[in-house]
Structures are given as C-alpha cells and as structure tokens.
Amino acid sequence: MRILGIDPGLATLGWGVIEAESGRQRLINYGCILTTPQQRLPDRLKQIGEDMRDLLALYQPDEIAFEELFFAKNVTTAFTVGAARGVSIAACAAYTDRLFEYTPMQVKQAIVGYGKAEKQQIQQMVKLLLKMDHIAKPDDAADAIAIALTHAATGPAREQFLMK
C-alpha cells in the first residue's frame, strides 16, 4: 500500500510517501509545498491545491493520512493553516475517499512509544525505521513521514481514523 502523509501548513506543508507491505515500510520520497507571505492568501491556497493535485498524480497513493491541527493561542494562524488544510483535504477528497487523520499525540505514541515525545526523538525514530542516511529536513517533511508511518502501523484498526 502506498501512503501519503501530510503535515498541513500555509507557508510549509510537509508531505511524505511510503510503501507499506507485510509490516515493512520503505520511503519513496518527501518534501514540502512552500508559499511565501508576499503572496496573497488566495494565491497561496490556489498553489497548495495545484501542488497537491500534482503530488497525487505523481505518487498515486492508496491512502492519505493528515495530522489534525492543534493550536493553543494564535487564532489568526489557526484560521490560515486551517484554510490550507481544507484546500489540501479538498484536493485529496477529489482523488480518493481514503482520507485519515491522527492527532500529534497519536503520531508520537506510534513512532516513539510516548505521547509527549520531543520532535528530535520522532525524527530520529523515522530515520531508524526507514534506514535513512540522515534526518529528513525540513521538520514539516519529517513530520509528514511520521504521519504516514503512523497510518501504516494502525493496520486493521485504521478504519477508526477515517475522516468523518
């Protein structure tokens, strides 16, 4: 099964593609969709949608896993990142109905075994699990790979994480 993991963002949207088969995972590729504050918000959202459609056409994932958004304080950031996440979900929903989502704590628990793990611990485990030469950069791409690995690890229980 080919899984696309997505770490939503407006300036930097991380993505990672893995192959998962018989309990083994293999990294296909990873990267980021980048927009700049100099672009108007509608143009940034349009670019995210277009780039997401290009990723879907190129990698043809069987299932797509998103990280749920969590914001404690900055409402403005929550709205703009939420808009970027919405555009990404819309592009993916036009491609497939196999969309899943995981909380940051669920990703940490799946990758490190501890729901309050530090970002560096997650990145190191992703590197080890996929036998990578180095930690994926930027952080958003590494997070997206972790989301894809989390989805692969859910096995038959994955249906409970299907987006509603």
Q: Is residue 138 helix, strand or coil?
A: coil
Active site residue 51: no
19 catalytic residue (yes or no)? no
Is residue 43 part of the annotated active site? The answer reads: no
User: For residue 113, what are its two tokens?
Assistant: 């075994």
Two tokens at 91? 């592009």
First to last CA, the chain: 22
Catalytic, out of 7, 51, 63, 101: 7
Marked catalytic residue, from 51, 101, 140, 143: 140
Considering the candidates 63, 67, 101, 143, report the single residue annotated as catalytic.
67
Containing 114, the helix (H) or strand (E) segment is: none
The answer to whether 126 and 142 have CB atoms below 8 angstroms apart is yes
Quote the distance between the C-alpha of residue 128 and its chain's center: 19
Active site residues: 7, 67, 140
